[in-house]
Each structure stands twice: as C-alpha cells, then as structure tokens.
Structure 1
Amino acid sequence: MGVLFGTDGVRGVANRELTPELAFRLGRAGAYVLAEKTGKKTVLVGRDTRASGDMLEAALVAGITSAGLNVCLLGVLPTPAVAFLTRARGAAGGIVISASHNPAEDNGIKFFGPDGYKLPDALEEEIENLVLGSMERIPSPTGAGVGRAYSCAEAVEEYLEHVRRIGPPTLKGMKIAVDCAHGAAYALAPTLLEGLGAKVIPLGVEPDGHNINDGCGSTKPHRLSLLVKETGADLGLAFDGDADRLIGVDGRGEVADGDVVIWGCARYLKAHRRLKEDTVVVTVMSNLGLKRALQAENIRVLETRVGDRYVLEAMLKSGACLGGEQSGHIIFLDHNTTGDGLITAMMLLRLLVETGQRLEDLNRSLVRYPQLLENVRVRDKGRVMQSPELLAAIEAEKARLGEEGRVLVRPSGTEPVIRVMVEALDPEKARSVLDSLVDVIRGIEEGGELAAAAQGSWS
C-alpha cells in the first residue's frame, strides 16, 4: 500500500488531506499513465453528492485536460456505474470522486482501468510516484491539443438498462422502502424500481451536499427498519453513499446483511447452473454459519482478508462469479467488475420473485452464529497488534472456544482502531471472550501511553 493510495483509492478530509492541488496532480498524472498504457484519449468522471465533489471535480478535470485528454462528465452516479460505463464505452479509464460510506467531510478519488477493474498496484504506484515527484515528463499541450470536458448525462440510461435486464420482468404488486443515504443512487434506485412496477417508499433521497450517510444508508439501517414496519412494506433496500453496497431489511424490520444475500444468491445461481466452479468467495468477517451452510449445499467457500480487492482477486483466480462481504459489498462478475448495489438489489429481487419467497424466509433460513464486534481506539495499531501479550491472549481465547466459535482481531485499514470480532454458539461465552480481549488491548494501550508520558517527562 502506497503513501497516497489505500485499499480503495486516495481518501481524506476534503480540502485538508485531499486538496484541490492534490486532485489536480492526480488527474494530470492519472491521465498521462492511462493514455500511455491504452493509447486512448477519453476519461470518464463521476461523483457522489458531497459538496466537496464540485471542488475536487473541477481540479481533477483541469489536471486531466491539461495532459491533453478529454473528460466525459457523468455527474452524480454510483461508483459501479462508472466502472461499467468505462468498459462499455471503451474509455482510457474512469475516475470516481467519492468516499463511499464515510462522513460528508471526507472524500476520495478512485481510478478504474479500461477493463472496468480498479487499477493494479503497479499502475497506482506509477501514478503516485509522479504525483509525489516531478511531473516534467507529462506533456502540456497548447491550442487544439488541450483536452475538453463535456457532459455524458445520456450514459445514465445505458447503465440503467443494463441493470434492468438483470432483475425480474416486473415488480408489480410489491411495496419496497428504499434508503439511498442521500447519496449517488438517490435518483436512480427509485426510478429503477418504479419503472419495474414497484410502489417505492423513499428515504434518504434529498441530498444537500452535507447529509450523505448521516443516520441512514447501509451502515445505519435502523430508520429503514422502522419505515418498513410503519408502512407495511414487503422489504427495504439500503444503499451506501456511492451505491456499491446493499443491505436488506425484511418485512419484520430485521436486517438481512450481505451474508444473507450471498446465501440466497449462491443457492439460486447453483440451482440454475450459473454458479461458476460451484464456488463463493467471502471474507474472514462473514459469519461462520454462512460458511457451514454453503458447504452443506456442496458449495466451495474461499475466504480472504477484509476488502473487496481481495475478494475480487480470489474470484478471478478461482473462476468464481459470486463473492462479497457481510457489509453488503457483493460482486457478480457476470454483470459488473466491482460491487454494485443496484445489481445486487436486482439479483435479490429476482430470486424472491421467482422462488416466491419473502425476504424474511430467506433471512430465517440462514442459521448464524452469534457475532460480537467491538472497535478499540489505539494510538499505534502496529505496536498493539505485535504485542506478545495480545498474541498470547488471542491464542488462549481461540483454544477456549475450540470448534464452537472463532476469534478475529485485526487493525482497521482506514481508522486508528483494532477490530475485535468473536463468534460462538454460546452468546455468553462470546461476550466473555470479547470482553477479555478488549481489556487486554486497552491495557496495552494504557501501558503505551504511560511509557510515552514518562519518556516525555525525561526529555
């Protein structure tokens, strides 16, 4: 992982870490690298609803056009739509300005290659080296050689038509509550579902530039849950800020997370002989109950680190067409090159319509182990994770659970926290194990703070 690029592009607080100056350099360097690799001269740019998107888009476009490439402006559009359209339109690449499910003050810049996949590490490194070093070798054309920017609003329908074909022929008679997180799908999702005949009850469809993901969306489905129960909706669908994730809510108001969607779609695809290699890729965060249930259906389960890039890598290597995360970031490789909330919604609705199931039936059919998760804020993730005391505690708690559960302790890739997850058939034992590990981490952190304070007093 580089200095600028993390696991999902370049992110930071807009106008602080992610400045217009940095966006300009990223646009200029990215355009040069993409044009050099592909020989093509057009880049697609889309964004979510954050107020800072206007500022960053202007700077990014200036950088791209200064390198002599043209920009197709898609406007507010889901991240997966940019990935799809980049490939469908034969562009040199695509760029998304979004921080996904993060707060409104954050933003990010993510690149897609001409094939619609996120750029490989080597290309990100090449762009990063240019941005952080000298960009003298990047041409600065004048006159007719300067790139142009133009609107590509008509491309939205191209993406929507692709998504429509994946879903059921009709949703007539269904009442669906939809939470768009005041984000990129705020117009597309209701339009898509209403066009198929569903009665849509909207939530999170009034973006003001500052309310994206604020108490709503796939990471906070409680309001959608209440809305489903209050309105008698058949189900609810919750997207995140850039609509690459989907979380469901069944008719009882109970959350149906990514594990439930993967469970249903895996069996549906296998029944239709469309589950390639009879394999599903999940991450270490997926519930142990999902893994055992899939294996009982003779479906091979491959497990990766947390992060959609690792899921995708395993899918491409194994030939699997379905993979995803408990968070609702699910990849259907037969339909798109990245996680796509609208495609996931269409696949879920198709299986419900064709099988006659309700989402609550699907939700109940997956027997999950009780799972507890706690985030512990620390100053130095590396020091805590390498502590012999923590490593010994983890091994002791794993032995304590045996075959009846599991422990996962990992540093966050984006925040200064250690994530502790425990699953066990016995909820009380799970709580005891979790509390024990959290206490160990806090003890290590307090010891580090005391040591730092003592060193400061002697310096």
Structure 2
Amino acid sequence: MAADQDHEQEQRRRLLAVASRFPLPNGARFSYGTAGFRADGATMASAVCRAALLAALRSVKLAGAAVGIVITASHNPVRDNGVKIADPDGGMMDQCWEPFADTLANAPDPDALLQLVLQFAKDEGIPLGRGGHHTAQVLLGRDTRPTGEYLLDAALQGINAIVGARAIDMGILTTPQLHWMVRSKNKGIKASESDYFTQLIDSFRRLLELVPKDKGGDDLSKKLIVDGANGIGGVKLEQIKAELSGLNIIVRNSGKEGEGILNHMCGADFVQKERVTPHGFSPDDIGVRCASLDGDADRLVYFHVSSASNNSVALVDGDKILSLFALFIREQLDIISDNGGQANKPLPSRLGIVQTAYANGASTKFLKSLGLEVVFTPTGVKYLHKKALEYDIGIYFEANGHGTVLFSEDFIAQLESLSNELCSRADTVSAQYQAAMRLMAASQLINQAVGDALSGFLLVEAILQYKGWSFQNWCELYSDLPSRQLKVKVIDRTAIITTDAETKVSQPSGLQELIDMEIANYAHGRCFVRPSGTEDVVRVYAEASTQEAADSLAKSVACHVESLLG
C-alpha cells in the first residue's frame, strides 16, 4: 500500500514538473485536427510535450502497445512545426481522443493539467503510477526542420512524465516511415529504417520482374526527376536510389544543407496548387517525367514541364494516381477471376474507391465507368482511411497527393493460398499466378499505414512499366473538368453545417437552394461549400465545362455565402 502511494505521488510530481517546464504560451490556442497540432515552431514546445504525454497515456490504455509521435509540419513553411500521434495500427489517433487532446494542450497551468490527466485516467480506466514496469512505449520521429531537435526534447520529457513509459527515438524520418514502424512493431515485424527500405526495394524489384517482356519502355521512360521539397523525402531517396534497379532517378531540392529552403517554391503542395515548375527545374526537362514530394514525404504528385516559353506544368494529381492504381488492381483481379478463360466472373473480393467532394468529377466518372464502387467521405485522411478499411482492397487519394491502398488480411491470405496452390502445380507461368504475385508485391510496396510518397511513386513507376505507358498515356485516362477554389471570410464558420460528405448544406436554411440554382446555369456544373477546419473562412469549390464557367460559378456562390454569413 505504501509503495502504491509512493508511485502515485511520483506520478503527480512528474506531471506538475513537466507542465511547469513547458507552460502554455500567452494567448495560444491549440486544436488537434488531421494534421495534429501545428503552429510556429517557436511556440510549439508545450503542445508537443502534452501530445507526447497523451501518446504515453494512449499506450498505457492499450496495454503497452507501441504508439507513435512524429514532429513535423508537412508542407508548411520551414518556420512552422507540429506534432501528431500514430495509433498502434499505424493510422491516425482514434478520433474519440481528439477532444481530450485539445483540452490537455490548452490546460492553463500545472494544477489544471494534473487534474485533467488524473480525471481522464480515472474515466478511461488507465492505470497510472506503476513503478518499475514499462507500461507504455512511444516511438518518436522528426523531420529536418531546425526546431525539430528542440521539440524532440519536449516530447521526450512529456513521455517521461508518465511513470513506466519508455520513449524510443527512431531518428530523423519521413512521416510515413514512423507510421510504418509503429504498425510493424505492433505486428511483431522488424521495424527499423533498414527494414522499411528493404521492403520497398524488394517489393519494387519483384513487381519489375513481373513486367511482361514486351513492355518496360526505353531509357527515357525509365528516367524520373524527383523534387524532394528540400525535405526529408529527398534525403531518404538519395540513400536508396542506387538500389532501385530499373529506374534512373535524379533528385533535385534534395534537402542537402545549403541547397534550398524546405517547401519554398518547391514540393507537392506548391506544384499542385500553383501549377508551375518547382525551383531547380527548367525547359531542359521537357519530355522527362517528374514527381514532387512534400516536406515530410506523405504527398506525391507528378508533372511534365509544358513548354520552354513559361514555367507551367502538365499536372497529374492524386485523382489520377488513384485512377492508375485502381486500373492496375482491377486488371489483376480480372485476370485472377478469368479462371480457365471464363470471362465476366464477378470480382473475387470487394474493391472500393474512396474520394472526397474535392475529387475532380471527371475522375469519379472514369472510375465508375470501370464498374468500380466509388464512395465519398468528409474531407480529411482520417475519414478516408477509416472508410477504405471496410473493403478487401480500399483505395483512397486526395487531389493533393495524399493516399494509399489498403489490403485486408483476409484478402492477402486468399492471395497466398492461391499462389501456393498454383505453385504446387508448377503453374508459375500462368497469368493467374503472376497476377496474384503482382498484387502480393503491391501490398508490400504500398504503405498500409498512411499515405507515403516514396512507396507511392515506386508503385506508379512499376505500373507504368507493366503497362508500357508514357506520361502522356497516363494523362489521357480522362480530361479533368476545369475547377476553381475560393475562400470567403465569415464571422462564424460554424454557421455552415453540411451533410452528404460535405456536398450539401443543411444550415443556414436556403443556401443550398441558392447553390443549386447557380449550378443549373452551367454545363457539367458542380459546386459545394464547407467551413474551414482551421480559420474563419468558408471554402467554395466549383467545376464546369470551361474555366470561365467554373470561375463564374464559384464567384456567384461565394457572393451568396458572403451575403448570408459575411
């Protein structure tokens, strides 16, 4: 009994001490969203410390399962930083913990933080203060931002504020690497960075070995220039590019010291939004396939330098990456289903495509033309990922280039059983066997925890070689409908309430009717509005058959929003 009391006192002492060491900055208010907590890096110490403390609590709650912390601000400017938590499956932290994350991060003083933690632990049945036992383990990673080392120390102290918690610093990583490591550790799989690289390199090699002999392309088709956003993705790609046989990779904005500024005039977010070449690219790159990562390497877009006269690009965004993946996977499933030449058999497993309202309407139409099931969720990876898990194979991508392909364990078991059966019959040259092996390799290559630009571009490259496609062939899958996004400043964004995956407005009354009236004036018109998750603005998205029409539709709807809410 005395020992238990000592442990409880020690737990209280640690919580008070760490809260005193990292006080909430004056006037600061943190909100945990899809990106976790994010702000100017100089103001983030208290939020990072408390997020790490929360990660340790989460691990205790889950019987010591590994939880992850990654310190990054992704595509934000270099002065910013942030922190987010990875759950034991490698995905985002359970949404039901987000309200407490907000409350904890904004606790005004040490006593308030102590009482919040003790009450939350009691309500959740979290046993605190077990002296001498490792009741929690938290894996930490950070990107290359200059505030990262300072914030890593705050995270370590936050974890150590929970008695029995153990912090494991995994080093400077891409965000997807950290998520992959958390998932792997909890599955009992080797989880080091070298294990991550080995899995990528080996599965990419297996996919290339399964490329038909009459495909694969010439030297130009195997050349790829990658914009690393002067971030950690470029650094990691430089480490492994020599081992990626079958590709000639040139890394620009690689993150080498003194080469450039993180995310400044480069990176996937810049290319996707501005539709121009990143820093370091020129007309000399015309005709060469190019890819762009973001600062922490969880987003990916492709592009071509369009002409020598300006710096515009032909963009392939997340919608077209998704479409390429869906086409490839559907083709392999059809080969497997076509047993003995009997065509038109149903798919052996349920394949689902998950998009948000921001997906270009032309991509949705194309996917449905393939007979695929397409569903929509609210904007945000946490919604997309959760929905994709409902399928045997679930594919999701946002237009910004964040997404992945999820294969269920049951489906992987089916593939293994089929491939073993065919192998035992010495049927390893059959189309069925090779299709099954392609899907197995794809499931190993693509990150099952989160969107991963490194694994994503390798799967793109393998599929292009398998199909013998050029960049132009890929672009011609479908033509995007012209679109326009606008922001309308409002007094209270919460006055907008949406339904049907944010495609319809239920409040304020009458706004949806006004939007519908405007849409009816345009061929292929589509428009929706949604409140921003981070600032007092309402976002307006519009599509139509011409750019002029899309611009006009967006402007008309923005005027209605401003009139009602401005």
* TM superposition score category, shorter chain reference: 0.7 to 0.9
Question: Greater CA deviation, 430-439 or 255-264?
Answer: 430-439
Matched, 1:14 2:41: yes
| 1:345-356 paired onto structure 2 within 5 Å | 345-356=457-468
Q: 1:16-95 residue pairs with structure 2 within 5 A? A: 16=43, 18=44, 20-40=45-65, 92-95=66-69
Choose which of 240, 244, 248 in structure 1 pairs with 2:302: 248
Report whether the alignment pairs 1:219 with 2:279.
no
1:194 Cα shift?
A: 3.4
Aligned positions of 1:115-264 closer than 5 A = 115-128=89-102, 132=107, 133=113, 134=115, 135-136=117-118, 138-139=128-129, 152=170, 155-167=192-204, 168-169=207-208, 173=219, 174-197=222-245, 198-206=247-255, 211-221=261-271, 222-224=276-278, 227=281, 229-232=283-286, 234-250=288-304, 252=306, 253-264=313-324
Q: What is the Cα deviation at residue 371 of structure 1?
A: 1.5
Which residue identity lines up with residue 258 of structure 1 in the other structure?
Answer: G
1:231–1:424 CA distance, 2 compared to 1 (3 A): closer
Aligned to 2:559: 439
Q: Aligned equivalents of 1:379 and 1:331: distance in 2?
A: 36
Alignment identity in percent? 25
Whole-angstrom CA distance in 1 between matches of 2:256 and 2:536 = 29
Q: Which segment drifts farther, 205-214 or 252-261?
A: 205-214
Q: Equivalents in 2 of 1:149, 1:315: separation in Å? A: 31
Deviation (angstroms), 1:127? 4.9
- Contact kept? 2:266, 2:279, Cα under 8 Å: no
2:95 maps to a residue whose letter is D
Distance apart, 1:207 and its partner CA: 5.8
AA aligned opposite 1:395: D
Q: TM-score, normalised by structure 1?
A: 0.76
Answering whether residue 461 of structure 2 is matched by residue 340 of structure 1, we say: no
Coordinate RMSD, CA, aligned: 3.2
Shift in Å, 1:226 = 7.8
Which of 397, 411, 420 pairs up with 2:540?
420
Paired position in structure 1 for 2:357: 284
**Structure 1 residues 211, 416: CA separation in 2 closer, same or farther (over 3 Å shift)?**
farther
Distance 1:33 1:263, change over 3 A: closer
Mark the CA change 1:147 to 1:262 in structure 2 (over 3 Å): closer, same or farther.
closer
Task: Tell me how far apart the structure 1 counterparts of residues 488 and 132 of structure 2 sit (CA, whole Å).
Answer: 53
In structure 1, what residue type is equivalent to 2:516? Answer: E
- The structural deviation recorded for 1:227 is 2.3
Shift of 1:122: 2.5
Question: How far apart in 1 are the matches of 2:61 and 2:251?
Answer: 44
Q: Which runs of 5+ in 1 are unaligned?
A: 41-91, 449-459
- Using the alignment, how far apart are the partners of 1:165 and 1:345 within structure 2? 15
Q: Which residue of 2 aligns with 1:400?
A: 521
**How many pairs were matched up?**
391
d(CA) in 2 for partners of 1:107, 1:34: 24
1:178 counterpart SS class:
strand
Could you tell me the TM-score, scaled by structure 2's length? 0.62
Q: C-alpha displacement at 1:95, in angstroms?
A: 0.9
Q: What SS is found at the alignment partner of 1:94?
A: strand
1:422–1:434 CA contact under 8 A, matched in 2 = yes
Instruction: Evaluate the alpha carbon distance shift between residue 272 and residue 325 of structure 1 in structure 2; reply closer, same or farther with a 3 A threshold.
Output: same
What is the CA-CA distance between 1:228 and the residue it aligns to?
6.6
| Runs of at least 5 residues in structure 2 that lack an aligned partner in the other structure | 1-28, 108-112, 122-127, 135-162, 172-190, 210-215, 307-312, 335-346, 408-445, 498-506
Cα 1:412/1:255, change in 2 over 3 Å: same
Change (3 A) 1:139 1:29: farther
Seen in structure 2, the aligned counterparts of structure 1 residues 290 and 38 have a Cα distance that, compared at 3 Å, is: same
Separation (CA, whole Å) in 1 of partners of 2:167 and 2:404: 31
CA deviation string 1:314-356 (max 9, x = no partner): 1112443311111111112134121111121011101111111
CA distance in 2, matches of 1:331, 1:139: 39
Q: CA deviation at 1:300?
A: 1.4
Structure index of larger Rg: 2
Q: Look up the equivalent residue of 2:514 and give its one-letter code.
A: A
SS at match of 1:294: helix
Q: Which residue is equivalent to 1:371? A: 483
